[in-house]
């Protein structure tokens, strides 16, 4: 197989030890295609995250596919499978905490084709097309990355008051779809996502606002 996969870990000075273990396991066990691993962050080009992602696209080994993983994510051991699906962009389901959603504070990082964020059957070995997805763990094929209109495509979009209305990963997906590429979510590859949360907020969300 004449391909190369570049695994890029985005960080701000630290990564979860679970992710470190996954990287070591992959380095020792993955034999299906040649790959490289590199950490990106802790320098002026590493912030904001849109700069880091664009830098990774630019500086990755020439012609390589890409898997980007954020430092607070723990992917499944068989994550590299998503690089073998032959798809343009593959997002892995990663839970996101939204404390302003009482009753359902945890959502999936996917925007469906109808523009909603409805629950998906995470865990099933199926792949579904989506409009956009978060890039906590994402595969991007080299033909997408090398398309001239995808240069600098990771961009925060702001309204006239300077308030963000679209994140850099959703803008990347929007631009990719405008170029004729497809965005999919591989539901069988859920990733753990470690965040600090207020357990009272969790209790209130579960109990519908009841006090402890």
- Structure-block tokens of residue 212: 């402890």
Residue 134 domain-assigned (yes or no): yes
Q: For position 102, what pLDDT does the model report?
A: 59
Residue 168 domain-assigned (yes or no): yes
Total domains in the fold of the chain: 1
Other beta carbons within 10 angstroms of residue 51's beta carbon come to 16
Residue 23 domain-assigned (yes or no): yes
Question: What residues of the chain score a pLDDT lower than 70?
Answer: 1, 98-107, 117-119, 202, 205-212
Q: For position 123, what pLDDT does the model report?
A: 85
Which range of residues forms the domain containing residue 131?
5-207
pTM (two decimals): 0.90
Q: For position 195, what pLDDT does the model report?
A: 81
**CATH no. for residue 199?**
3.90.550.40
Q: What is the pLDDT of residues 103-140, one digit of tens each?
A: 565 667 788 898 776 667 888 899 999 999 999 999 99
Alpha-carbon gap, residue 137 to 127, rounded angstroms: 15
Burial readout 117-134 (b: 16 or more C-beta within 10 A, e: otherwise): eeebebeeeebeebbbbb
* CA nearest neighbour of 169 among 96, 87, 119: 96
Residue 212 domain-assigned (yes or no): no
Residue 48 domain-assigned (yes or no): yes
């Amino acid at each position: 197989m004449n391909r190369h996969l570049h695994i890029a870990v985005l960080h701000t000075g630290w990564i979860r030890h679970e992710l470190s273990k996954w990287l070591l396991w992959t380095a020792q066990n993955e034999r299906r295609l040649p790959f490289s691993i590199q950490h990106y962050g802790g320098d002026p080009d590493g912030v904001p995250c849109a700069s880091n992602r664009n830098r990774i696209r630019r500086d990755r080994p020439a012609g390589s596919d890409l898997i980007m993983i954020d430092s607070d994510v723990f992917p499944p051991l068989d994550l590299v499978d998503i690089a073998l699906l032959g798809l343009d962009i593959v997002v892995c389901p990663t839970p996101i905490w939204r404390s302003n959603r009482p009753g359902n504070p945890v959502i999936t990082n996917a925007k469906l084709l109808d523009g909603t964020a409805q629950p998906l059957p995470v865990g099933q070995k199926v792949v579904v097309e989506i409009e956009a997805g978060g890039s906590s763990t994402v595969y991007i094929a080299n033909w997408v990355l090398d398309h001239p209109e995808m240069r600098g495509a990771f961009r925060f979009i702001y309204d006239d008051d300077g308030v963000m209305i679209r994140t850099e990963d959703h803008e990347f997906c929007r631009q990719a779809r405008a170029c004729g590429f497809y965005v999919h979510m591989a539901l069988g590859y859920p990733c753990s996502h470690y965040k600090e949360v207020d357990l009272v907020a969790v209790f209130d969300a579960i109990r519908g606002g009841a006090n402890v």
